[in-house]
Each structure stands twice: as structure tokens, then as C-alpha cells.
A and B are shown apart, each in its own frame.
Chain A
């Protein structure tokens, strides 16, 4: 990847095993703390390895990465330690999340069924990326393998829950999106001034707890409410 980074890819498309492999491989690299490596970052099914000295060490680090890859079955790796289960109040549909109807329609269910399924499923943070602190969440049941919209929604607010391709993304910043805006939370996944700027970590689990629009609006209006009423407990 360019002159100063290497990419270790575990698959060409998203599934759970290469996702766990990427997380475990990245955790191992962080432990090894090689002097030539400036930073590492897992994505959905890959790991970016950024080098301190650009291209100079890339052949050497590349060889060592290959050896590490062959040293064990990364696809069989367990999830990371220190995982939490977050319960985040969410309003599904209505004026705060106008994409619910079209998502339900694309999946061939009524909106009540959609809300029931989404509020019962416990999704996992597959990776943090795109924007600061922003989680990709999955995996949803097969019927939620719905495509992106053909046109972009120009702007969804921070805390928007959007859905496509059996995943959710919980936006950390206002953003345009091609995914459907199905829910709205008051949860901030990027808190620049706080001690913990990035509250979510890959492997964390999230349940979206249905609530009403008034509740979310009260939470959004609370200046200290970066958690958006969320509760977290240790699970692994």
C-alpha cells in the first residue's frame, strides 16, 4: 500500500472467520511491537501495517509477516479479550430515521418485524474505521443482505444507525451515506476531548434497545450525554 505500508489480507470478501483472523493477527503484531512498525490497524478482513522508515524495511517486514502468518491458523482465533456488551437506546424509524420503511421493504418484511429483529439481535463491532471511532457492526441475518441505495443521502447526523449488506454502521460524525438510515441514537462513538476518545473496540457487542423519539431527543439535548443513555458490561 503506497511506499510506507503493507496490507495483510485474509479474504476477498467479508465473513466472520477472516474478520476474527484480522483482529487476532493485529493483536499479535501489537504485542510483538516490532521497531520497524509505526502502527497497525485492522479493517474488516485485513490488517494495515504502516512502517517507520517507508520502503526501506518493507522487504524485511514483509518476510517476517509471511512467517508469522504461517505460524498458526489465524482463522481459528478467538475474539479479543476485554469485550463489552453495550445497550444503546435507539429510536427506529419516524422522522429521526426515515430509511426504516425502505430497508424493511428491501428485505421483504413489515416495519414491526424489522424493529423486532433489530432490537433482539446482538451485533459485534467488526472493525472501527472510515471515520473516527465509527463501528461496522454485524452480522445480521441473511434477509438483511440489502444493497446500498443507488443515490446518496446527503447527510445523516452523528449517532445515525444505517443498514446494508447484513451490517449496521453507527455514524460517529455527520456524513453522507448510501446505506439506509433506520435508527437514531444519542451515542457518541468519537469523544475528542474525553479521557476515552474512542469508547468502542472491535469485538464489543451492541444491542439497540428500542425507545421513543422524545427519549432520544432528550438524550441528544443533554450536553454531558455522550453515552446517549448507553450501558456497558464486561462479557469476555
Chain B
């Protein structure tokens, strides 16, 4: 079997897929990739199922190699990336050969990058998924020396790129009403809508805390609300009045009131917002939210049509050697790509 060998990993590097469903009643939240769109983009670049697992990297990349030739794709927050000493294009697919170190550094924009493999990471299925769920204690962050199996690759194309809209610099998040929105006085909702926030750098896979507004948004009766089901995207106002956006690994129930929910289509932008960027909110009606989400779902379904061969000039071709421009000059074993 083909394997991924991890040499170095940032603290936020984990195996992720689209998460586990069907366990809410047992208190296990879906988990899975923070930026679900990035998982779909990787699947489209490699021409494979979005159910396959990839490596998620929050804030810092990994250094790794593979034991056999493997197609890879890079999506999400663009990061510094080298295969050996060659720079690779982000939001693109490549061939990685054994013996070549893939070094992924810090994000150049955004927060969370993804490294996908043809055939996907095939760590054992636990409760129907491969995703590391740190809160639940399923799996653990990647560490030097980890060797992970890579599945059978059914595709073949590489050198493809996928242009994506910028979701890596903050901006406006669209909100829709939640079950407790009406509990918040109009004045408080207006102040929330007018607020400018920035992500707390201490945010994790459970929640994104929003800093930046001096005055809190707490309800006086906030602490007496009975614990109810909660879901990723919900914007809770915690006891100290700070809004937090619940993310993939949130708990399944919570007693803090929810002022709104982030439109699922805008969650990738929320998780990708770097600590220095700003977030503001717009409120949609339920109907507007349905229409907006439908449009986003359509755009996601149309991703395969946006795939294009990487534009190449000799200076930027990372996989020049593969083309055997000078036949006989290489064995094909020297480098990846």
C-alpha cells in the first residue's frame, strides 16, 4: 500500500473528511473539515469522491513525503509550498514522487489549507468516518513519524487548476434567523449588525470567537435558557457577551442563546478569516437564505466545469522534468512533479 510519511506537522494538522452524520442522538457532532468547500474543490481537482479524506492544516503546514508516486491537490488557504526546491501552484493538482519532500509553510492568505491525495487518506473508519474529531477524542493531530495509508487512485489527470473566489480575507457573512433570534431586542440586533469583528486567534475547531466590539451582546436571561440542540454555523452569545460561531466540532447541545446562524455557504469564509481581517454581518430572511444557499449549492455542483489546465511558462513549470524536454537527460526518478 502507498503511504504518506509525516516529517513535520503544525499543531493544527489533522486528517479530515466531510465528517460523521447519524450520531447526534449520541452526542457526537458531525466534525469534519472546517472548510467543506475546500474538500469539494480537492475532489474536483483529482476527479474523485468528496467523501475521501485529506489533510487539514490550520495556520501552518506540514512536511511529508510519499512511498510511491501519488497525485496530490492543494486547496483552501494558499500556503507556501515546495516539492523539493520547486514551488508548486496552489488550488491545483500535481504528481508527487517518492523521495521528494513536500514542504508546506504558513498561509499567504486565509487560515486553513488542505492537502488531498489521489485515493484519499485511508486511516481506518471509526463510527463511519475517518475525520479526526479532537473534541471527541477520535484520532489525534498529525505528528512527526506518522505513516498514513493512501487509498487506491482511480484517476489520472494532474496539472489542473481551479480558480476560486477570494474567501480568505474576511468580509461580510450572511446570517439567517435562529430559534432564539427573537429573544434579542431589536436594539441589540441592530448593534450586532452594525458591529465589526475579528476572529480571536485562540479559536479552534469547535468555535470561532469574535472580538472587536467593546460592548457585549448578552441577554440578561441568557443563562437560564434550557440546553437545546445546536449546530455548526449557529452564532451563540456566551456568558461574557462575546459572539462565537460554532464550527465542525461544536458540542451537540448548548444553553447559550443564539442570535443568528451563518449561511452554510459562508462558513468557509468565516473559518478562513485571518486574525487581522475584519468580519461584518448582513441579515437575510429565511426565504432569502434559502435562495442564497441554493445558488451556492449550484455553484459548487458546477465546480468541475471550472477546472482548467495550469497555464505554463517554462519558468513556472514545477513538473518540467516530467515532460522529458531533453530526452535521456533524466531518469524520471530525480524529482517529483
Q: How far is the CB of B248 from chain A (nearest CB, A)?
A: 14
Q: How far is the CB of A130 from chain B (nearest CB, A)?
A: 5
Closest to B294 in A: A55
Task: Knowing A3-B290, A130-B252, A133-B26 are in contact, say whether A190-B179 is a contact too (CB < 8 A).
Answer: no
Task: Knowing A26-B25, A41-B24, A132-B27 are in contact, say whether A48-B233 is a contact too (CB < 8 A).
Answer: no
Within 8 Å of chain A (Cβ to Cβ): is B127? yes
Question: Does A173 lie within 8 Å of B231, measured CB to CB?
Answer: no
Within 8 Å of chain B (Cβ to Cβ): is A207? no
Closest to B262 in A: A2
Task: Knowing A39-B22, A50-B24, A133-B26 are in contact, say whether A5-B229 is a contact too (CB < 8 A).
Answer: yes
Closest to B137 in A: A173
Instruction: Flag A1-34 by CB within 8 Å of B: 1 or 0 each.
Output: 1111101010111100000000000100000000
Total A-B pairs, Cβ < 8 A: 118
Question: Does B264 lie within 8 Å of A197, measured CB to CB?
Answer: no
Question: Does B137 lie within 8 Å of A9, measured CB to CB?
Answer: no
Which B residues, 248 to 290, have Cβ-Cβ distances below 8 Å to chain A? 251-254, 261, 263-264, 289-290
Within 8 Å of chain B (Cβ to Cβ): is A210? no
Task: Report the Cα distance A37→B254, complex, angstroms.
Answer: 22
Instruction: Flag B148-174 by CB within 8 Å of A: 1 or 0 each.
Output: 000000000000000000000000000
Question: Does B136 lie within 8 Å of A39, measured CB to CB?
Answer: no
* Dominant secondary structure at the A interface: loop
Closest to B126 in A: A192
Which B residues, 125 to 160, have Cβ-Cβ distances below 8 Å to chain A? 126-127, 135-138
Within 8 Å of chain A (Cβ to Cβ): is B293? yes
Question: Does B231 lie within 8 Å of A5, measured CB to CB?
Answer: yes
Task: Report the Cα distance A197→B178, complex, angstroms.
Answer: 32
Question: Does B229 lie within 8 Å of A1, measured CB to CB?
Answer: yes
Task: Knowing A2-B261, A190-B136, A197-B127 are in contact, say whether A131-B229 is a contact too (CB < 8 A).
Answer: no
Chain A residue total in the interface (Cβ 8 A): 42
Within 8 Å of chain A (Cβ to Cβ): is B191? no
Which A residues, 78 to 121, have Cβ-Cβ distances below 8 Å to chain B? none
For B228, the chain A residues whose CB sits under 8 A away are 7, 9, 43-44, 46
Question: Does B27 lie within 8 Å of A130, measured CB to CB?
Answer: yes
Those 3 A-B pairs whose CB atoms lie nearest each other, nearest first: A48-B229, A41-B24, A129-B253
Question: Can you give 12 contacting A-B residue pairs, CB < 8 Å?
Answer: A2-B231, A3-B264, A5-B229, A13-B224, A43-B253, A48-B231, A127-B253, A132-B23, A134-B27, A148-B223, A173-B137, A197-B26
